[in-house]
Amino acid sequence: MTEDLLTKLAKTTTDEERSWIVTESLLNTLSPELLSITWAAAVPHWFDREILAALRPELSDQVQDLYQQLQTLSFVEVFPGRGHNIHELTRKLMLKRLWYEARDEFLKLSKQSANYFVKQNASESEIEWLYHLVVDEEVPEENENQLWNYSSDLNNSFRYSELDALSGILMEQVEAQRASTFSSATIHYRRGDAARRIYGQREALDNYKQALTFYREVGTRLGEANTLKAIGDVQQFLDQWSEALANYEQALTFYREVGTRLHIANVLKAIGDVQQFLDQRSEALANYEQALTFYREVGTRLGEANTLKAIGDVQQFLDQRSEALANYEQALTFYREVGTRLGEANTLKAIGDVQQFLDQRSEALANYGQALTFYREVGTRLGEASTLKAIGDVQQFLDQRSEALANYGQALTFYREVGTRLGEANTLKAIGDVQQSFNQWSRALANYGQALTFYREVGTRLGEANTLKAIGDVQQSFNQRSEALANYEQALTFYRDVCDRLGEANTLKAIGDVQQSFNQRSEALANYEQALTFYREVGTRLGEANVLKAIGDVQKSLSQWSETLTNYEQALRWVLD
């Protein structure tokens, strides 16, 4: 071992220093031609004879021999299917030296690499081309456009793995501070896009925020607006509704300055989605209408279809069912036009829901059936599960209880497969209801119990209330009246929490029934009277009739004959109506 090298190594303090001394010593032993080709070989992630010839055209007549010699060096390894590469440890050190000590040479080799890889027709070569392009300072705007367009293509064609690979490889240049600020912004932005699909929303948010900093640094309003919109999308996913709204609003302002109508339409639709969730339904409708106008202006059928579907959803919620139906029908036409099976399936399901509500049960069944076929075609388990559940609901209403039970069972399997606790809970509750109607009390109770656990897990007060009420009903049938009363009382509290008047009325009626059986007649009457008020408020004639009958029963037991007769007569009138 030579004293020179030992002395040098003894003076070092870091691994990197030591490593470079050894690599440099090795490089110094190479012939000028081999040294030149080794430096060139360090620039791309892999090389073969052809790549080396493109990078060092002046050595093209010796390249075959030099390539052979390169392969004997200890830091050169096989790159499967593509030739060879310099080991990542050594390559990193060499690139750092080249960048800081021979910047022109680095840029020249990068440009030549970009020129070589752009001519190759494979995904990995395109990624490699962009890797070299982002350090080229000659035409940064043009390069930035290439990067933006290529990554947009990957994103728009849902090729997220390649987007992840592209942004991951390009981050190497960002971290080494070799990429321009503009490119660094785009790389972080695309890393965010990939992260949203693959890693998770937090990682996406970190990358978008970094992109925003870079876009603000270079003063690019459009980049800033795109990133604010993306941040809003992530925040919407993370249930950070007001933060999302604030970012969308800011993006909208910038888009109005520099964006296209499509940008504006997209962000208006997003704002509407948040507002819908925040119960600001009229504001949501206004934004959807505005988005719809822009989508129509630019002729984006998919955007139009999505917005019509969203408008329909709001209208359905606002009990404007015929308007909702009209919008769903139009959305359906557009989804069919652009061939979006999933959109078609979702809309058919929504149409079925409206029809179910409008008592058009056979039409609802037909639409659910078609939606189910499409969900199966595209393989959306969640859509399949919710449609099977809906079909089961219709069948339960039509007294086709065993068919309903079979569909609920299948829906339950799929909900479990995709891990949707709420769907699972709703289906268990529905199964319990059918079992109750078959007098399978203990099975019903077991399913209600499981449903209750899941509703509590996801924090759905209404589901909890409905299930407690159902459990109370079973217990009442078993003469477990005090247990039933306790569950009814709890259900009542939850119905009041969520302002569900019908639920409240049904439960008050049930409580009255138990109290009547305990001979607590005045308490029963008070609850029946309150239930009656609520039934009248929501306009449920059948509920009103039942409670009038119950009031009549109490009055009869108190020998209040004329009051009894009046209430029975009115109850009969509503039933006959």
Partner 1 sequence: MKHFVNRTNEMKLFRQMVIRDISQRILLIEAPAGYGKTNLLLQFERSVPENMKSAWVDLKSAQTGIPYIFSRIRRKLGEANFPRLATAVQQFLDGGIQVRENVQEGQDNLIQVLSVPDDSVRNFRLMTLQEAFFCDLCYFQRPILLILDTFNAAPESLAQWVGGGFLAEVADASNVFVVIAGQTIPRVSGEWTNCHHACRLTAILDPDEWYLYAKDAGFPFNRDQISMAVMIFEGWPAKIVETFEALVREQAQ
**Contact call for residue 87 and partner 1 (CB under 8 A):** yes
Burial of 420-439, coded b for 16+ CB within 10 Å and e otherwise, reads beebbbbbbbbbbbbbbeee
Out of 90, 151, 315, 356, point to the residue binding partner 1 (CB under 8 A): 90
Residues within window 234-293 making contact with partner 1, judged by CB under 8 A: none
Q: What is the DSSP letter of 120?
A: S
180: left (phi over 0), alpha (psi -120 to 50) or beta: beta
| Nearer CB in complex with partner 1: 197/443 | 197
The Cα 346–Cα 214 span in angstroms is: 39
Residues within window 14-73 making contact with partner 1, judged by CB under 8 A: 18-19, 22-23, 25-26, 28-30, 45, 73
Out of 418, 458, 542, 565, point to the residue binding partner 1 (CB under 8 A): 418
Instruction: Please report how many Cα atoms fall inside a 13 Å half-sphere around the Cα of residue 136, on the Cβ side.
Output: 23
| Nearer CB in complex with partner 1: 73/510 | 73
| Nearer CB in complex with partner 1: 198/358 | 198
The residue whose two tokens read 């089961």 is 392
Check if the beta carbon of residue 293 is closer than 8 Å to that of residue 272: no
**Contact call for residue 565 and partner 1 (CB under 8 A):** no
512: nearest Cα among 489, 478, 483, 493: 489
Min dist CB 160 to partner 1, Å, is: 6
Q: What one-letter code names the amino acid at 111?
A: K
Min dist CB 241 to partner 1, Å, is: 22
Residues within window 108-147 making contact with partner 1, judged by CB under 8 A: 122-124, 127
Out of 52, 55, 166, 484, point to the residue binding partner 1 (CB under 8 A): 166
Check if the beta carbon of residue 521 is closer than 8 Å to that of residue 509: no
Out of 261, 296, 361, 381, point to the residue binding partner 1 (CB under 8 A): 381
Residues within window 446-505 making contact with partner 1, judged by CB under 8 A: none
Min dist CB 342 to partner 1, Å, is: 6
**Contact call for residue 410 and partner 1 (CB under 8 A):** no
393: left (phi over 0), alpha (psi -120 to 50) or beta: alpha
Check if the beta carbon of residue 266 is closer than 8 Å to that of residue 229: yes
Out of 59, 113, 143, 164, point to the residue binding partner 1 (CB under 8 A): 164
| Nearer CB in complex with partner 1: 321/376 | 376
Min dist CB 159 to partner 1, Å, is: 5
Burial of 376-388, coded b for 16+ CB within 10 Å and e otherwise, reads eeeebeebbbbbb
Min dist CB 75 to partner 1, Å, is: 6
| Nearer CB in complex with partner 1: 36/480 | 36
Whole-angstrom distance between the N-terminal and C-terminal Cα of the chain?
107
- DSSP H or E segment with residue 256: helix 241-258
The Cα 273–Cα 280 span in angstroms is: 10
Min dist CB 402 to partner 1, Å, is: 29
Q: Please give the C-alpha separations between residue 87 and each of 72, 75, 78, 93, in angstroms, as whole numbers.
A: 13, 5, 9, 10
| Nearer CB in complex with partner 1: 1/576 | 1
Q: What is Dmax (Cα atoms) for the chain?
A: 121
Out of 48, 65, 82, 397, point to the residue binding partner 1 (CB under 8 A): 82
Check if the beta carbon of residue 160 is closer than 8 Å to that of residue 123: no
# residues contacting partner 1 (CB under 8 A)? 53
Which two structure tokens, joined as six digits, stand for 205? 């948010």
Min dist CB 409 to partner 1, Å, is: 20
Residues within window 168-207 making contact with partner 1, judged by CB under 8 A: 168-169, 194, 197-199
**Contact call for residue 13 and partner 1 (CB under 8 A):** no
**Contact call for residue 305 and partner 1 (CB under 8 A):** no
246: nearest Cα among 262, 228, 273: 228
Residues within window 316-355 making contact with partner 1, judged by CB under 8 A: 342
Q: What is the DSSP string of 35-94?
A: HHHHHHHHSSS-B-HHHHHHH-GGGGGGHHHHHHHHHTSTTEEEETTTEEEE-HHHHHHH
Min dist CB 153 to partner 1, Å, is: 11
| Nearer CB in complex with partner 1: 194/514 | 194
What does the CA dihedral 293, 294, 297, 301 come to, rounded to 10 degrees?
-90
| Nearer CB in complex with partner 1: 157/260 | 157
Out of 171, 382, 446, 526, point to the residue binding partner 1 (CB under 8 A): 382
**Contact call for residue 160 and partner 1 (CB under 8 A):** yes
| Nearer CB in complex with partner 1: 354/411 | 411
The Cα 348–Cα 342 span in angstroms is: 10
By the criterion CB under 8 A, which residues form the site for partner 1?
1-2, 5-6, 9, 18-19, 22-23, 25-26, 28-30, 45, 73-75, 77, 79-82, 87-90, 122-124, 127, 157-162, 164-166, 168-169, 194, 197-199, 342, 378-382, 418
